[in-house]
Chains A and B, each alone.
Chain A
Amino acid sequence: MSAPTLSTVRRLLAVLFPQRRWMLGGAGLALLAALAATGLMAVSGWFIAAMALAGTAGLAINYYTPAAAIRLFAIVRSAGRYGERLITHEATLRGLSRLRVWVFRRLIPLAPARLGALRSAELFARLRADVDALEHFYLAVLVPGSVALLSTAAAALLCLALLPAAAGALLIGVLLAGVLAPLWLQRRAAPHAARAVLLGAALRGRLLDALRGQAELLVWGGVAAHSGRIRALAADLDARRTRVEFLEALGSALVGLCAQLTLLAVLLFALPAVHRGRLSPPLLVLLTLLVLSSFEIIAPLTEALARWSSTLTSAERVFALAETPPPMHEPSAAAPIPPRPAIVFEGVGLRYEEEGAWALENLDLTLAPGVRVAVVGPSGAGKSSLIAALLKFYPVQRGRVLFGDQPLEALDGDALRRRIAVIAQQTVLFNQSLLDNLLLAAPQASAEQIARAVSLAQLDSFIASLPEGYDTVLGEGGALVSGGEARRISIARALLQDAPVLVLDEPTEGLDAHTARGLYAALSSAARGRTVLLITHRVSGLAQLVDEVVILAAGRIRARVPVATYLASGRD
């Protein structure tokens, strides 16, 4: 086993560790059930042969004990198997359920800085399919593996006592059927299995594209081509899976073959032993059935090894995601957030990639508490980066950003963001009720507060028009409301947050003039007493909302002027 494999296994075990009681219990019951099944067949065989011999010889025989043992084995076997399956599945479901949410929690601090390259379909695939695949690690690998190992050892010990050569044959046969053959097959199947995992994820992504980008594909006549690509991916996926299935079938066939070969080897030793009187005849039948039953126990090992590589691939993908270091570390002891903070950018330089271009360069900007400023500039001037730095989403490489008298590094990111309400360029709504969407930032808001925010955002008539009112579910990504309504919902959401700082990132983009004008009025009353940072392209309504205009260009501040001066300067 290579070093990365070992470390993946170690991490898997660590993740599953909290479920160890369930897991050990499940494996124990599995072993008990396996031993009982072997015992049932072996003792039955011995019993029949002994009874036949006694019958032909007319001898008396104690048949109570073996007959009772046979019945006992039957009952232990069925009950043990039921308990085993219940407990092993309980264990995995518990483990996976925790793991999924754990991974999601690890993702939170990575957004947006570290997740840029990963699409949500890919993230979803890792959280769903890959995490699900990890159940095989315990159910299909750990349990059958340990049961096979221990029950083979028990069978081999019994053989050793009866006929040492048979023990040797059994061990060789099991090694061949349970370890060597599956290993060989696994090596053949591994590349296909690993590729199938990746293909599955790619297929999901393509399908999501087909669903979400359907309008584009329709208009551009790309439906057929895109479907073709999906078909090709699926065909490749199916071909890989067929290959894996074929190797699995070969594996289970080989186990059967090994069982028969071992049986022949045992007969080769046992028949002469009986002939020479070194082995009592009924024990010949016992040995035969013991061998056959032992191979039934190791049959699942082929599948276990086949699962092994795809499980590892899934595990690696999950861990790679969960162990991505967050872009910024939260302080261990966060400083308290000042109630009415000034915001100061001191010589800030920010870039998204090492050696990349500076998005913000040597930027100095002071926003006293309650000041209302618009930031204007061409796209790419650094307006969004300014906000990204302020929200502590991206680290600044030079200078520092102060919130109150504290540098951002000293503040807890979540606590900081609670004090900054944002109305962003792209409105994201969630597939929940309208009310839940409004309350995202302020779950404890009172009915009056909600009503106030809703009326400020001019949402009241819209909500009144909905048959289900506040309980209307907005659909995925808020798909069931129009762009303007979505924006108003996000404005109400930000108003409810009741933060001393209000960041408005193109708050009226996509709204018609009438609604926009109304919103400026609403926003200016909401902005009263707050520090306002407005990013906009529009000039109309600017004077209503801000006092000053900061002109940004190429990551630097070009000028900072009173709004009247800016408007008079004739820049439209």
Chain B
Amino acid sequence: MSSLGAADTPPTARRAAQWLRREARLIRGPLLRTALFTALLALSLVAQAWVLAAILTAGVLERAPFAQLWPLCAALLVLALLRVMLTIGARRSAVCGAQQLAGVLRARLLQEVQALGTLGLRASASGDLLTRLVDGIEAVLAYFARYLPQAGAAVLVPLLLAAFIFPADWLSGLVLVLTAPLIPLFMVLVGRAAARASEQRYAQLRRLGAAFIDALGGLVTLRQLGAAERFAARLERENEAYRVLSLQVLRVAFLSSLVLEFFAMVSIAIVAVLIGFRLLWGELALRDGLFVLLLAPEFYLQLRGLGTLRHTRMDAVAAAEQLAALEVDAAAVPAHSVGTAPVRCERAPEIRLEHLAYLYRGRGTGLHECSFTIRPAQLTALVGPSGSGKSTLLNLLLGFAAPDRGRILVDGVDLAGCDPRQWRDCIAWVPQSSHVFEGTVRENVLVANREADAAALNRALEASGLAPVLARLPHGAETVLGERGVGLSGGQLQRLALARALVRERTRVWLLDEPAAHLDRDGAGEFQALIRAAAASRTVLMAVHRLSAACAADWVVVLEGGRVVEQGPPQHLRGSAGAFSALLQAEHS
């Protein structure tokens, strides 16, 4: 089957098949157990058919009374009970194997997604990734739990049955054995066309998912712009495209099952008629005839079952392609050489940036030859127009990406040789836009420090100015936050972000990206004072737009086009006719 298809299978499909085979190896045990149960089921079926044929023959030819046949009837009962146990055993081992695999897969894929890194993640839609992680795994799971066991049964059962049918009636056996291979042959032919359609369908499914995530995330904006109805129409089109593609896949899949059904039914009819005539001519015993007739539908049953699961396999292959691609993407991310050099920041460290260069993958500004020092117990402000490289610099400091050239030294230790986790343990961070996690305000603050006790939490809430906001909410800190913090204003979200930083009380390095964004003047002032006070015992780097905030810093670094164009204490920079004073003038004019 596979050799037939191999010649012109696209490389991605081959990769998907390889991927599925590799995963199957992980659960070889349960798969083999399932096969064993299946074989036993087939044998019990043969026994059942033989007993029933014997009973019926005696009933028809000899008009035997029940009293004479009860031992055979008792045997039927025993066989029926045996089959109950075998059926459950087969299904159970198949499902357990698949679930076992699902656990492994989910963990591994999550790791791969994480390996893509925050920078890699932004580029691909999270709705799309989510589809891969959830639906992709479901599709693969269905393949292992249902398709693969059924495929095993489709090979095993007919072979076993044929072994018993031939001795009983070779002619019927010949009919069955000759028609049976035609079924997979047609299925392969039809299946190839379906595979292509299935790929398109899966791609459309992902498009549809991304479109829905997009629309749902921006529903308010769409209403504001009066574009919601038009977006609904777009979704309708995407949906319709998905429906049409789905039907294409199904039509082909059903065609293959039509072939199956047709061969199966016609063969049974031929077998029945042939048996009938040979019985009439006295060339066959009734018992053998009935035995074969009872087994004939079972001969095709497993193949038919496989036909109904055909799209399970196609979905799984399409999903496996995506998952294998994710694997390749993740493997392509240069391995973070996780060093072992200790970074300990019990006291505020000195952070020295030496000739940092980073080529931005995608668009935007990279960094060129950035060198400056963030001194301990000082507040260093990073200023520059948007797109000057401030965020890139922070990303490097956070270890989200490694610099292409140059190094970052923390108290003389090169970060490249450190364990990023250990380094990040030293950092409190306020990002430009924070993600709000599913959960309460309390949980959302404590993501930053799960060890914090109630007192520490309260201190963080008070200091960030979130406490009075929460006091006005009916559920206080237990208020559940919605998507992107619906329910909190921009300023309140910013306070949440600050509270997260504050709850990491022991950190000695603060990296702040626009900490006072979305705050009113009083709030911004409060924040500024708080950061000033914190800087006394910490190393603080703060990227800001508002130059008034930069003026309160101990040291200002001006970035432009990814280069440090000026640095020094703000009072000096103000006086000189450099980039900083130019920026100040621009703000005040």
Contact = CB atoms under 8 A, between A and B. Distances in A.
B424 A218 contact: yes
24 contacts: A61-B280, A78-B258, A78-B266, A81-B261, A82-B255, A85-B250, A93-B246, A97-B240, A97-B242, A108-B229, A111-B223, A116-B487, A204-B134, A215-B431, A248-B91, A260-B77, A277-B63, A377-B520, A414-B228, A424-B221, A440-B227, A510-B518, A510-B545, A512-B384
Given A104-B235, A424-B224, A47 B272 contact: yes
A430 B386 contact: no
B234 to A, nearest CB: 9
A67 interface: yes
A73 to B, nearest CB: 7
B225 interface: yes
A15 interface: no
B66 A268 contact: yes
B147 interface: no
A88 to B, nearest CB: 10
Given A77-B265, A234-B102, A249-B92, 18 more contacts: A47-B276, A49-B60, A51-B275, A75-B266, A85-B254, A104-B235, A117-B487, A124-B209, A221-B421, A221-B425, A257-B80, A260-B48, A380-B489, A414-B226, A509-B518, A513-B546, A515-B385, A539-B521
Nearest to B255: A82
B59 A257 contact: no
A49 B275 CA distance: 10
A191 B124 CA distance: 37
A513 B580 CA distance: 11
Nearest to A283: B60
A175 B427 CA distance: 67
Interface in B6-65: 48, 52, 55-56, 59-61, 63-65
B133 interface: yes
A143 B448 CA distance: 52
Interface stretch (B103-111, B155-163, B187-195, B345-353): B103-111
B87 A267 contact: no
Nearest to A292: B294
B225 A425 contact: no
Given A44-B293, A253-B83, A513-B547, A220 B386 contact: no
Interface string B84-97: 11011011100110
Contact of A74 (B52, B268, B474): B268
A74 B263 CA distance: 9
A193 B13 CA distance: 34
Interface size bucket, A side? 35 or more
Given A111-B219, A242-B95, A537 B520 contact: yes
Contact of A482 (B110, B113, B386, B450): B386
Nearest to B584: A513
Contacts of A79: 258
B339 interface: no
A245 B268 contact: no
Interface size bucket, B side? 35 or more
B583 A100 contact: no
B323 to A, nearest CB: 14
B23 to A, nearest CB: 16
B448 A220 contact: yes
A347 interface: no
Closest 3 A/B residue pairs (Cβ): A484-B386, A513-B587, A260-B80
Contacts of A248: 91
B536 interface: no
Contact of A52 (B123, B230, B286, B522): B286
Nearest to B259: A78
Interface stretch (A222-230, A307-315, A334-342): A222-230
A213 B145 CA distance: 33
A32 interface: no
B276 A63 contact: yes
Given A97-B242, A378-B520, A216 B435 contact: yes
A271 B84 contact: no
B385 A391 contact: no
A405 interface: no
B80 A425 contact: no
- Residue in A104, A485, A506, A517 whose Cβ sees the most chain B Cβ within 10 Å: A104
Contacts of B214: 430-432, 476-477
Interface in A354-411: 356-357, 376-380, 384, 391, 393
- Residue in B56, B110, B211 whose Cβ sees the most chain A Cβ within 10 Å: B56
B432 interface: yes
A217 B447 contact: yes
B474 A245 contact: no
A210 B113 contact: yes
A169 interface: no
Contacts of B383: 512
B480 interface: yes
- Residue in A52, A54, A424 whose Cβ sees the most chain B Cβ within 10 Å: A52
A218 B76 CA distance: 63
B121 interface: yes
B73 interface: yes
- Residue in B87, B124, B130, B134 whose Cβ sees the most chain A Cβ within 10 Å: B130
Contacts of B387: 482, 484-485
B326 interface: no
- Residue in A51, A108, A200 whose Cβ sees the most chain B Cβ within 10 Å: A51
Contacts of B418: none
A65 interface: no
Contacts of B275: 48, 51
A449 interface: no
A235 interface: yes
A67 B276 contact: yes
Contacts of B209: 124, 128
Contacts of A431: 125, 210-211, 214
A247 B517 CA distance: 56
A71 interface: yes
A353 interface: yes
Contacts of B91: 245-246, 248-249, 252
A90 B55 CA distance: 45
Nearest to B391: A482
A49 B272 CA distance: 11
Contacts of A516: 545, 587
Contacts of A384: 489
Contacts of B261: 77-78, 81-82
Contacts of B239: 97, 100-101
Contacts of A48: 272, 275-276, 279, 286, 289-290, 293
A375 to B, nearest CB: 11
Contacts of B92: 245-246, 249
B126 interface: yes
Given A52-B60, A213-B435, A476-B213, A241 B483 contact: no
B471 to A, nearest CB: 10
Interface string A114-155: 011111110110011000000000000000000000000000
Interface string B468-482: 010010100000101
A70 B434 CA distance: 71
A493 B215 CA distance: 17
B400 interface: yes
Contacts of A67: 273, 276
